[in-house]
Structure formats: structure tokens, C-alpha cells
């Protein structure tokens, strides 16, 4: 078969050359017959019968996104989608208007690969304003196609085969596959939920200091810890890491010469006076932190795919090279709209957090009434729940029942853990929805109460 393809290609090319010289149609026909007769001869080199594995070994270690699969199931069964974390309400009008104006002004071609100057300047300005971190927009920022690309581009830029990356679990499902794709090995440290009812109202997900320290240590030199991924405010738990916890992580990063890669996409969505602290602002961390953020969550534009990484110049340069050959650049007109978004007044973020607090306090009582034990989040817009009261063998069976029979989509908790059994009695709900959407979810949850 290969010989026929090669011969056909040669015939087309050579015949074209003959036409250019005025050769007759009959000459072309004769040449075609001649080469086809050669192609029909038995191959001089028999094709190998040895089987070939066409897939990368890396993809054997993870599945497609469970979160996005639950969205597909929500659509299939007509369920209320409380699985995937995208708002079902409008983005701010001024941001949409800025995007429309950029398109109308013909900002429709490639931006500079590592981000438009207006957006990079706005990112630097906001990091100074909110975290007190001085950033050089020319040398320390790379704009990517969402924070998701920023994360995998960062790991590809800093990790080598055999490096280990520390990840708190439950974790946002992309982190494990991102580490694997970069050749690294994720090493998980447990976040433990509040245990008592009183803790449930005001407690925190916690981790064991010794377990975290051991994740940084190696008894041999075969492997080394390259980085820790820190997501605060945290998805899926809603945990906001405290200054004391961040200082401990800082001390370990300095002691073991480890990078911190922080996902701060929910930095403005905070409750009960919780404060977001970027670890890059702590002494000793400015030159060993890659800060990742984006437009999606704070501005309700998850489909725009504009995010960024902020890092020291040498690391930024490496991320820029990876990003260049992954996606070339983020959407140019949406970058201009992003610059407008980052210029919104402080009151916008106060109102944003208050609206999400109202939504959280709208959904949680309905969940608790239906029989869930809810772990009240301090940040982000998800609530993790315990489903032990319902008597299902595992979270996957429960999520399937909920979407098909009750008409509500959630995310099985096992998708946030290395070992599925660790999340087998947990599911996650997203409350970034209209009040009427949450009302409908509460109405449907009433059908579940009889099973609790």
C-alpha cells in the first residue's frame, strides 16, 4: 500500500513537470501505467508483522476529565448542572463591551506570543496592588490559553523525568495528569476534612506537618522533589491556606530547594474574613514561585481561556518557549478585555465575594436538609459533601443515581484522589449558578430526603 501511495505521489509530481514542458497527454498516460505497474510488484522488503503500540504510555495513567464528563451527563439527562464550575449567569457588561470594541477595532491577529502589553501591565499592576509583589511585565509574565495551559506549560518547563511534584489531595483533577505529561511523578499529601459538627461550621481542612515534610525528603538520590503545587483558595475543598501554613511550606521549599507553583484562580472569592496570601509575597519565595492565575473565575468568562504565569525571568523564559509551541498565543481581543477586567475597582471584588457567599448559603441548607454532610468552604465556589447517609457503595454509583433519577449533576469525590477509595463517600457541588438554578436544585433534592 505504501508503494502505491509513493508511486501515485511521484506520478502526480512528474506528470505536472511534463505538462510544463508541453508533453502530450498520451505521454502522461504511459508514465502513469509504467509506475503503477512498478507499484503492483511484490514489495522487495516484506512488511514487519511485529505489533506496534501506537499510544503513549503516559495516557495509560489517567482518564478523561470526570468533571467535564458529568457536564455531558447533565445535558443527556436534563439535569441541573452543579458539577462543572462555570457560571450560568452573564459576565460583567463592561468586560464584554471591551471585547466587542477590541474585535471591532481589528485586534484580531496574533498578539505577542507571551501576551499583549496592556494585559501584562495590568497583571503587574494588580499583583502590586493586591499582594505587594513587584513584577516586571516585560520579563516575568507569560499569558497563556487559560490557567490550565499555564499550569501544564510551567510543569513542562521546569520538570525532568523522575522529578517529583508534591500535590495536596483532594486536588483539582488536572494536576496529576499535568505532572505525568511533564515526565514528573506526583506525590500526594492528604488534606483531612473537619471531623465534628462544630468543626463543620467553622473548621478547616488540615494536613499533617510530618507527612508534608516526608514528601520533600528522599532516602536516595534517584529522585528529587522539584516543586509543590499549591491551590489556594482550594478546589475542591474551599480551604484557604493560612499564613502559618504558608510559612511552613515556605520553610520546606527553602530547606529542600523546591519551587512553589501556585494556582490562585479563586483569589477574590473569599468568605468570613478569610484572606488570600500569595506565597510569592513571603520572604525567600519571590525567586522560587510561579504564580498562576486567570480571568475565568473572577470575571465569569470560563470560555475565554485567558490565564497567565508570573515567575522569575529565567523560569518565565522557559515557560514562554513551551507556551509558544503549545498554543502560540491566547486570543488577542480577549486579552484587551482582560486588561479592562483587571482595572475594575476594589468594590467589584467585594460584591463578587458577597454574591458567592449568598449562593453558598442558598445551596448548603438544601443539601443538609436532603441528608448531605457539608464542609463549609472558606473560599472558591464549591462545597465538598459526605454521602455516607445515603447507603451507596461508592461515589460513582451515587453520582450516577443523582444525575439520572434526581436530576442533579455533581462530581464524584474519587476523581480528586489518587486512590478512589479515599473519596468514595464524597461528592462536590458547584454553586456558581443563578438563584433560580439553585432553587430548582433544592426542589429536586427534596426527592432525595426519603433515602437519607
Asked if omega into 338 is within 30° of 0 (cis), the reply is no
pLDDT score, position 68 = 86
**What residues contact 32, with CB distance under 8 A and at least 6 apart?**
11, 15
Least confident of 63-72, 187-196, 440-449: 63-72
pLDDT bucket at 444, cuts 50 / 70 / 90: very high
212: number of CA atoms within 13 Å, CB side? 23
Q: What integer best gives the mean pLDDT of the chain?
A: 88
pLDDT bucket at 199, cuts 50 / 70 / 90: very low
Q: Residue 205, Cβ neighbours under 10 Å: how many?
A: 22
Q: How far is 33 from 159, CA to CA, in rounded Å?
A: 55
pLDDT in tens, 122-165: 999 999 999 999 999 999 999 999 999 999 999 999 999 989 99
pLDDT at 366 over 70: yes
**Is 65-84+347-451 a domain of CATH 3.10.450.50?**
no
31 within 8 A of 15, measured Cβ to Cβ: yes
pLDDT at 296 over 50: yes
Q: How far is 218 from 179, CA to CA, in rounded Å?
A: 18
pLDDT score, position 46 = 53
Tell me which architecture the domain covering 106-344 has in CATH: 3-Layer(aba) Sandwich (3.40)
pLDDT score, position 6 = 39
pLDDT score, position 202 = 56
Mean pLDDT on 416-443: 97
pLDDT at 200 over 50: no
Mean pLDDT on 282-306: 97
Sketch the domain layout of the chain as residue ranges.
2-39, 65-84+347-451, 106-344
pLDDT at 5 over 80: no
Q: How far is 123 from 350, CA to CA, in rounded Å?
A: 19
Asked if omega into 170 is within 30° of 0 (cis), the reply is yes
Q: How many residues does the chain have?
A: 452
Nearest 5°: phi and psi at 401? -60, -45
pLDDT bucket at 201, cuts 50 / 70 / 90: low
pLDDT score, position 17 = 41
pLDDT score, position 131 = 95
301 within 8 A of 146, measured Cβ to Cβ: no
Mean pLDDT on 170-190: 92
Q: How far is 115 from 419, CA to CA, in rounded Å?
A: 38
For the chain, what percent of residues have pLDDT higher than 90?
78
pLDDT bucket at 48, cuts 50 / 70 / 90: low
pLDDT bucket at 274, cuts 50 / 70 / 90: very high
pLDDT in tens, 7-24: 444 334 434 443 344 444
Amino acid at each position: 500500500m505504501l508503494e502505491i501511495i509513493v508511486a501515485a505521489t511521484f506520478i502526480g509530481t512528474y506528470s505536472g513537470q511534463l505538462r510544463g514542458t508541453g508533453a502530450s497527454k498520451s505521454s502522461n498516460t504511459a508514465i502513469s501505467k509504467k509506475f503503477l505497474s512498478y507499484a503492483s510488484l511484490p514489495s522487495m522488503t516484506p512488511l514487519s508483522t511485529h505489533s506496534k503500540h501506537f499510544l503513549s504510555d503516559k495516557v495509560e495513567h489517567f482518564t478523561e476529565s470526570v468533571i467535564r464528563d458529568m457536564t455531558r451527563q447533565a445535558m443527556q439527562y436534563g439535569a441541573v448542572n452543579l458539577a462543572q464550575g462555570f457560571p450560568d449567569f452573564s459576565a460583567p457588561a463592561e468586560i464584554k463591551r471591551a471585547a466587542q470594541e477590541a474585535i471591532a477595532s481589528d485586534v484580531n491577529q496574533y498578539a505577542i506570543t507571551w501576551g499583549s502589553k496592556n494585559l501584562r501591565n495590568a497583571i503587574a499592576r494588580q499583583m502590586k496592588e493586591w499582594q505587594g509583589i513587584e513584577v516586571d511585565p516585560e520579563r516575568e509574565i507569560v499569558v497563556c490559553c487559560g490557567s490550565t495551559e499555564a499550569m501544564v506549560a510551567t510543569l513542562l518547563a521546569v520538570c525532568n523525568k523522575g522529578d517529583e511534584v508534591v500535590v495536596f489531595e483532594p486536588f483539582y483533577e488536572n494536576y496529576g495528569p499535568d505532572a505525568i505529561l511533564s515526565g514528573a511523578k506526583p506525590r500526594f499529601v492528604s488534606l483531612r476534612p473537619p471531623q465534628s459538627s462544630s468543626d463543620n461550621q467553622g473548621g478547616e481542612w488540615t494536613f499533617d506537618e510530618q507527612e508534608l515534610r516526608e514528601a520533600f525528603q528522599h532516602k536516595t538520590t534517584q529522585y528529587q522533589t522539584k516543586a509543590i503545587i499549591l491551590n489556594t483558595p482550594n478546589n475542591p475543598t474551599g480551604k484557604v491556606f493560612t499564613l502559618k501554613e504558608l510559612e511552613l511550606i515556605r520553610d520546606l521549599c527553602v530547606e529542600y530547594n523546591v519551587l512553589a507553583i501556585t494556582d490562585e484562580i479563586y483569589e477574590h472569592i473569599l468568605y468570613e474574613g478569610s484572606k488570600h496570601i500569595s506565597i510569592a509575597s513571603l520572604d525567600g519565595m519571590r525567586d522560587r514561585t510561579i504564580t498562576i492565575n486567570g480571568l475565568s473565575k473572577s470575571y465569569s468568562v470560563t470560555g475565554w481561556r485567558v490565564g497567565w504565569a508570573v515567575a522569575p525571568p529565567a523560569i518565565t523564559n522557559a515557560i514562554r518557549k513551551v507556551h509558544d509551541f503549545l498554543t502560540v498565543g491566547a486570543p488577542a481581543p480577549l486579552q484587551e478585555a482582560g486588561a479592562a477586567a483587571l482595572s475594575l475597582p476594589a468594590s467589584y471584588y467585594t460584591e463578587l465575594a458577597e454574591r458567592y457567599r449568598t449562593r453558598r448559603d442558598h445551596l448548603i441548607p438544601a443539601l443538609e436538609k436532603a441528608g448531605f454532610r457539608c464542609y463549609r468552604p472558606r473560599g472558591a465556589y464549591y462545597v465538598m459533601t459526605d454521602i455516607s447517609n445515603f447507603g451507596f457503595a461508592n461515589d460513582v454509583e451515587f453520582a450516577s443515581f443523582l444525575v439520572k433519577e434526581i436530576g442533579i449533576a455533581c462530581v464524584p469525590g474519587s476523581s480528586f484522589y489518587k486512590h478512589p477509595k479515599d473519596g468514595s463517600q464524597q461528592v462536590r457541588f458547584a454553586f456558581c449558578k443563578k438563584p433560580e438554578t439553585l432553587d430548582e436544585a433544592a426542589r429536586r433534592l427534596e426527592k432525595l430526603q426519603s433515602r437519607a
